[in-house]
Homo-oligomer: A and B are copies of this chain.
Amino acid sequence: MQMHPKLQELKTRLAEVNDLNEANAVLSWDQMTFMPPGGAEARGRQIATLERLSHEKFTDPEIGKLLDELQPVVPELAPDSPDVALIRVTTHDYQKAVKVPPVFTAELSEHTSKTYSAWTKARAEKNFKLVAPLLEKTLDLSRQLANFYPGYQHIADPLIDDLDEGMTVAVIRPLFQKLRTELTPLIQKITSQAAPDDSCLRREFPEEEQLKFGLEVARKMGYDFNRGRQDKSPHPFTTSFSIGDVRITTRVKTNFLAEALFSTIHESGHALYEQGINPDFDGLPLASGTSMSVHESQSRLWENLVGRSRTFWQYFYPQLQAIFPSQLRDVQSEDFYRAINKVERSLIRTDADEVTYNLHVMIRFDLELEMLEGKLPVKDLPEAWNNRYFKDLGVIPTDDSVGVLQDMHWYSGTIGGYFQSYTLGNILSAQFFDAAIRAYPSIPSEIAAGTFDHLHNWLREHIYKYGREYRAAEIITGATGRPLELESYLKYLHSKYSELYQL
């Protein structure tokens, strides 16, 4: 069947936007990995120009006109045609994009880059006040941004929708409430036990061997290095320049083995998702993960449910010992397993174990909502932060750099829309993993043999390949037979940690 000429024209225009976005992803990747300091200023200009051109071209009224003209064509297409999904996704993105005036986008972008600079200084000087006035404006701009999408139930909903289409505060709040109710006593019980000794991870592990081992694990997981690579950056991330070029970065600490190792596994989980998208979607808006939460579920599934499991290390621990004989010769597999699953109440989200991690996220989520609702003034944020840390985790930041200034998110974007997806990802990781094991009960024993084919294939066939062809809710129900729910995740945490800590 010949393609409808309007559809062809739409695809041509979208391909141009996509090329600009992918080019910009290369510029950002280089900025984080290889760029010398002297390149920073020009790189800022280059990225801003490509962003502006991409936005201009995507919000061109001609695209709106094409979409209008294509709506009557949709019923003529096969209902499961990717073109139907393409028209739906593009219409959604277009309608969101045109609601925000370009001058606002420019103001927000300029403001966040100024705020980011101020934050690096404020964090170094451990002084929230240095960035507070800017953060007040960020809050104001975040509210303005939400208000470009009237009709929301909660003011955070439009911000959440940007990364998680259809997800709302009304769904998240009760879910998080239930999770907190379950986690609090679990963490209480765990931390009343003696903490495992993780000193075996804190010996000297040369960088080169760490990287080599991480790459070997990624390869076994199914990461195709003909279509990807790993480099180093201050903060690990995954980026895609096309389905044929999906890259990750990692960060190595020679005195802490878990750093590079789990960051590589985590980012490889993201990369498997991007590499597994239907190649027919390459260059179109369908070629990315369906939502931030589902994306995060894939990194967490591999990092935690696979990478921190006893079965995984049945296969890999002897190899790790062979690479680091002097450091690990005297460390039993079981002690290593306990070390990488040490639970403790701590100050820093990114260093947190998988159980307490969610408390860190939920604190941020609640504070964001209070700020957006106008109940928490920015000036009172550090106090509210510290109070919540004491209440939820029993720890008090010694200063703002390990408190309210620790994460870049609020200081490099809007307030709201991001953090919840980390915990939603954790919840989903177990729900997907359970479903995969129901389909292939041999998965755990395969993991114990260092084989991931069934797991990887199941994920690809039920999640990866669709890209944005289906919405997150549809993907979840399609893959697991149920909507988003806590059951699998709670069962996973309770059973793993009851056994580990003999609760």
Contact = CB atoms under 8 A, between A and B. Distances in A.
Nearest to A19: B49
A23 B22 CA distance: 11
Interface string A12-48: 0001100110111011001000111111111101101
Nearest to A40: B244
A392 interface: no
Contacts of A35: 245
Interface stretch (A183-191, A221-229, A367-375): A221-229
Interface residues of A, number: 41
B39 A242 contact: yes
Interface in A43-62: 43, 45-46, 48-50, 53
A94 to B, nearest CB: 20
A282 interface: yes
A241 interface: yes
Contacts of A46: 19, 22-23, 26, 241
A247 B23 CA distance: 19
B244 A42 contact: yes
B36 A226 contact: yes
Given A16-B49, A241-B43, A27 B23 contact: yes
Nearest to A228: B36
A283 interface: yes
Given A36-B229, A225-B36, A229-B34, A241 B53 contact: no
Contact of A42 (B20, B41, B245): B245
Interface centre among A34, A39, A43, A45 (most CB of B within 10 A): A39
Contacts of A226: 36-38
Interface in A322-341: none
A283 B227 contact: no
A15 B261 CA distance: 42
Nearest to A282: B42
B34 A224 contact: no
A456 to B, nearest CB: 17
A229 B20 CA distance: 25
A250 to B, nearest CB: 15
Contacts of A283: 42, 45
A244 B282 contact: no
Interface string A73-96: 000000000000000000000000
Interface of A: 15-16, 19-20, 22-24, 26-27, 30, 34-43, 45-46, 48-50, 53, 224-229, 231, 241-245, 247, 282-283
14 contacts: A15-B49, A16-B53, A20-B53, A22-B46, A23-B49, A34-B229, A34-B231, A37-B226, A38-B227, A38-B228, A40-B244, A42-B242, A42-B282, A53-B53
